[in-house]
Chain A
């Protein structure tokens, strides 16, 4: 990768409506939390400068509309994503069940070349809410993440800023790694294999 170009990490945040995607981002980027709920329309992004292993990167967090009627962004929006953050609400079992849907939808829309290695991070938000109201057990979520290829899992509270920095640090690191791989892949033409074969054939002809 070129060193003079600043690394921009594109991170997409997905999840059901009302799980706290916007709040998580606001807490991470601005250290603020608002009690008011305002549905995100279309998409919005926030950026933050981070330092990963002495490299300055800009993380660009794309907030998305969880509400279906506001979902309007397609392929162009997902293109070039380096990491996808899946958020659910630990007090809302449905939002957890939908994680798979969000993941698959993302893979299709983003046209991820190698779904097995693409970095996802799962965040179980709203752990500040009373334990008795919790409907998704930590174990259940951990198991899901493990089954889906050891996705990193964090339980967070955007309200009380629990685990936010830790979670986004992993997000940024994984995104950074992905970005490096993306660039490597970009440079390598997938048709090379065929060219090599062609050369091989000609070599064979000579003898």
Chain B
């Protein structure tokens, strides 16, 4: 029990009938009808609510030697039970007495109640069973409300006062909501939607901040708008009638009075706001809507706390003889507390909907309930109780002796002081400083109440509210966690609840992990936070790996394993000290290597029972230990079970935290990138989020979290390791390698058709070896390496797997000259640190073990395809690695390996192509060289065809390789295919280097490898053509290839491509070649005259053929052609050519004559038109009037209607200004009747006439 309020008596007067604190005055009415006014300002501790000192508790000078921080008022009466301070003690204590300032005699009758209406400065007194309004300054009677005769109760409501209160209690909150970082309305509404969703209900139960934002929203809706008319209200009830008087505060003379009839007798009532009054009738609660006078039944749902309560509750609500109705407005969170007897319900201020978890049941029926921020004060027949309205926690209880006079309490909400009157004593009770309340609650581990209080306090009282609340919630979570874990069978729900609390209040991972054993984290050297030391039971965190081990298992299985010839991890790693060895007192443990342990572990869960029963000698050996073991086993198994449950819960926290850390790291990174820019801060719960909230070095924390998550997955759901490694993660290489390689999954994996029984049969020597390998998470490790860009390691691992090499942790980190230092470091580190605790795979359960690393999976990994697929993901940056590791797949399955270079991927596109070609040409061994060439050609085709590479070197290389493959000697189908490719490539592309290719071709021709070199000469023509050397092309075609048709076609192509001039030139050149050569060009050294003549003859034939067949031949000048023919050519041979030319000429002549005649006809037509146009005229004289408006033309510019216009007489003269009107008129007509528009209106200026 803590202390919320400490009282001091301030007034002792014999005949107090009622009292009222108003601002800094205290009014006391006496039975004699007198009002005595006391001033509270001369008081030495007049600290008001808003100026509440932050740290020092209010000094309770009036209490005898009472220690301020004493949790109870034992100093007053030491004999009393400290947990149950009595009111009598308070009343007996003497305090600083206030002195009366003045007094007024009001009436001869006792004043039974006083209320103050601040806006109007009215004091409303009840005496003589009637209400009287008095001016508070002068104490003159203003008015007596005659209607109020016989009233039961009355209440006042002032809008101004309410808003003042609202400001005090909600000030901070309103500010918060204004500063809310997501300003977007959309976001707000989204958040709201999420709030209301039931999924989040549980979540937000721990998250008071969210509630606050909700309540803020609702508060603002109820706050009155400032430009409204401000009113003050007074309401009183007489029997079944409720009277309400409202004043406009600007004009106290104008007031309205309404009365509302109610179905039943009014017992008491309270203003909800300016328009609604909650009325307690004899049988139920109604809300009176003042403007309309209508009644709304308060929708109180049936309360069923439990059966026994509900019956009593219902009966009480259904109208017992005397029941108490209390209404308390919890201003700070816009809630109404409606209490009826022992039950109460919280309603939303505006909607009057019951709030979630809103029922509070009191231990005894309160006589009255009051609001003392942020608590409620209940007065019952036996005690005054201060409770938390959120959950009903009792914070302070002051017992009332049975012979006390009635107690009346009034709280001044502005000052947040509670005044208590009993008999002749009036006491003022101030709440203790909130900080000290908070401290004492926290010190006594009442964390719920502390968190609750911290949440309610505005930041003006608790400047570090967010961080304080966070601390409290984290502590709460830690306690919840440890108390749950301490149970025999911890509840999963509670554990995850604790973890969610940790998560939502951003608990630092180091702190959370301090609740767990070290081996869960994988880290040995992280600093463990000690905040929880002595506070929570950290029994779980002290569990060592040994505690989870059954000594029995190890004795048996240790031997068993050592009997079989398994090369264990331990064996391959002699420098590592034996895990557990130094600190383990148990014999047998020292013998266990990590692998042996794990073997034992997996057996220990599933097969201990059968193992012991199935082997009689072992059973005998251990028989005398059995009893002891059973106890021990039970304990150990409990520990395992607990730990596993805890880890299941922890995973949720870790996953959520890693996401948050990721965001923060990303933010920090962005911050570093653009320093100085006004990047918005990260926010958490409306507060700027310090980047070190999880720890000073965020990267380190990230590693801790991810390593732990990894270790947890390894224990409980190994299938999630893969996903973790594939997303961006901060797992450390050392831990991952070590754990993955040492870890051996349960032997049940061996049994594909796991039938639920675990026995020794799975562990036969032959399969053991396999299971060791299979247990290792190679796929995951490779994914991990890939994520960490440790491609070399991944590829080396794949290679070793492919070679069927044994994989050990050392082999993952081979001695590399460059890595020597780090490797040494690593070794020294691993030997320095106490023991790299092994993984409790014993925690594996059938449910979590799957066949991810089945035989098939391992076989797939061993296949070179894995390496190929890996290499496919690498880009130019890892070109060296690609070349290094493609070797072995290339030697096994080259076709598939080539995919690395032939893939249509960004990575492949990024590779340096020249390097790749070089590598393919020189870096690989092939039995068949032509295979190599084919691969390079494939690559080049891919690069040129798909990536549109225009590098001349590659293009030339392509030509070169195709040329090489188009060899004559091993001609086969593919060869001709290569040749065709070459022709197509050379003829259609032009990125290759022509000179180089020409040289290659010429060399090829001159080498004499091929019997038929014409194919290569033919290729040369394309290259010469590209070079623009058409003469060379024609010469090759005519003299070397004798392909006259092609030569002729070539000329036609030139006509088409380069135009008539160039075409004619080369056609002429071709003719010249035929007619002017001496024939030697074609015959080399042969000088036989007959032969020469034959050649000349055939050349002549070719020339004539060309002239006759070439479609452009007639374009050549006949005179030029004739000059080419040697003199001895008989006319008969060229006669047909002449004829053709003559025909051509005469047709041209005829055509031009026709054209001439036609042109003449056209000329005559135009001349006629000219004449007719010139002859057209109108005569304008002084009498000529405008054909449109009828006015004289004067000197204005005129228009003449053209003669083709049929609707009006042509040649009509109109004003220029009338043209527009005329044209619109005509257009209308035209659109109606069809025909052309009025175009061609001739305009003549005055001068033209």
Residues of chain A at the chain B interface (Cβ within 8 Å): 41-45, 74-77, 79-80, 100-101, 103-105, 107-109, 111-116, 185, 190-191, 193-194, 197-198, 200-205, 207
Contacts and interface: CB of A to CB of B under 8 A. Distances in A.
Contacts of A104: 722-724, 726-727
19 contacts: A44-B193, A74-B503, A75-B500, A75-B652, A76-B500, A103-B723, A104-B726, A104-B727, A108-B709, A111-B655, A111-B717, A114-B719, A115-B717, A116-B852, A190-B644, A194-B605, A197-B605, A201-B630, A204-B613
A113 B634 contact: no
B892 interface: no
Contacts of B605: 193-194, 197
A198 B605 CA distance: 10
B659 A197 contact: no
Contact of B845 (A43, A79, A107, A190): A190
B241 interface: no
Interface of B: 184, 186-187, 190-191, 193-194, 197, 199-200, 203, 500, 503, 605-606, 608-610, 612-613, 619, 626-627, 630, 633-634, 637, 640-641, 644-645, 651-653, 655-656, 658-660, 709, 717, 719-720, 722-724, 726-727, 845-848, 850, 852
A79 B653 CA distance: 12
Given A101-B726, A108-B727, A109-B659, A116 B630 contact: no
A160 B651 CA distance: 42
A191 B655 CA distance: 23
B547 to A, nearest CB: 15
A198 B634 contact: yes
A112 B197 contact: no
B660 to A, nearest CB: 7
B652 A115 contact: no
B608 A197 contact: yes
Contact of B720 (A42, A44, A112): A112
B199 A76 contact: yes
A75 B193 CA distance: 18
Nearest to B709: A108
B190 A42 contact: yes
Contacts of A76: 199-200, 203, 500, 656
A74 B641 contact: no
Contact of B659 (A74, A80, A115, A204): A74
Contact of B651 (A103, A111, A202, A205): A111
Given A105-B727, A108-B723, A197-B637, A113 B848 contact: yes
Contacts of A111: 651-652, 655, 717, 720
Given A45-B197, A75-B503, A197-B608, A115 B641 contact: no
Nearest to B191: A42
A190 B715 CA distance: 14
Contacts of B608: 197, 201
Given A75-B500, A75-B503, A75-B655, 20 more contacts: A41-B190, A43-B190, A44-B190, A74-B656, A76-B203, A76-B500, A80-B199, A101-B726, A104-B723, A109-B655, A109-B659, A111-B655, A113-B717, A113-B847, A114-B717, A114-B847, A115-B720, A116-B719, A193-B846, A205-B630
Contacts of B630: 201-202, 205
A84 to B, nearest CB: 12
A200 B200 CA distance: 43
Contacts of B852: 116
Given A43-B194, A113-B717, A101 B727 contact: yes
B656 A191 contact: no
A33 to B, nearest CB: 20
A185 B184 CA distance: 42
B848 to A, nearest CB: 7
A194 B637 contact: yes
A77 B191 CA distance: 13
Output the residue of B199, B613, B846 with the most chain A CB within 10 A: B199
A74 B659 CA distance: 7
Contacts of B722: 104, 115
B633 A198 contact: yes
A36 B613 CA distance: 72
B187 A194 contact: no
Contact of B850 (A107, A116, A191): A116
A143 to B, nearest CB: 13
A116 to B, nearest CB: 6
A62 B1056 CA distance: 66
B606 A193 contact: yes
Contacts of A207: 613
Contacts of A190: 644, 845, 847-848
Given A75-B652, A115-B719, A201-B608, A108 B847 contact: no
A198 B633 CA distance: 8
A207 B709 CA distance: 44
B626 A205 contact: yes
A98 B633 CA distance: 48
A181 to B, nearest CB: 12
Given A75-B655, A76-B203, A191-B644, A107 B187 contact: no
A74 B655 contact: yes
A145 B630 CA distance: 50
Output the residue of B633, B634, B655 with the most chain A CB within 10 A: B655
A42 B197 CA distance: 14
* 8 closest residue pairs by CB, A with B: A200-B609, A104-B723, A75-B656, A107-B723, A74-B656, A115-B719, A104-B726, A104-B727
A191 B843 CA distance: 10
A115 to B, nearest CB: 5
Contacts of B847: 113-114, 185, 190
Nearest to B609: A200
A77 B656 CA distance: 10
A185 B848 CA distance: 12
A141 to B, nearest CB: 15
Contacts of A101: 726-727
A111 B709 CA distance: 11
B629 to A, nearest CB: 8
A67 B273 CA distance: 44
A83 B953 CA distance: 54
Contact of A194 (B640, B652, B717, B727): B640
A198 B632 CA distance: 11
A111 B652 CA distance: 7
A103 B722 CA distance: 11
Nearest to B642: A191
Contacts of A109: 655-656, 659
Contacts of B658: 108
A12 B797 CA distance: 37
A115 B717 CA distance: 9
B850 A201 contact: no
Contact of A197 (B186, B609, B613, B656): B609
A185 B200 CA distance: 23
A86 to B, nearest CB: 13
Contacts of B659: 74-75, 109
B682 to A, nearest CB: 11
B187 A42 contact: yes
Given A101-B727, A108-B720, A41 B655 contact: no
B840 to A, nearest CB: 13
Contacts of B656: 74-76, 109
Contacts of A75: 500, 503, 652-653, 655-656, 659
Output the residue of B190, B619, B627 with the most chain A CB within 10 A: B190
Contacts of A103: 723
Contact of A191 (B187, B609, B641, B723): B641
Nearest to A102: B727
Contacts of B610: 200
A113 B651 CA distance: 11
A151 B200 CA distance: 30
B1018 to A, nearest CB: 39
B727 A41 contact: no
Contacts of A198: 633-634, 637
A107 B190 contact: no
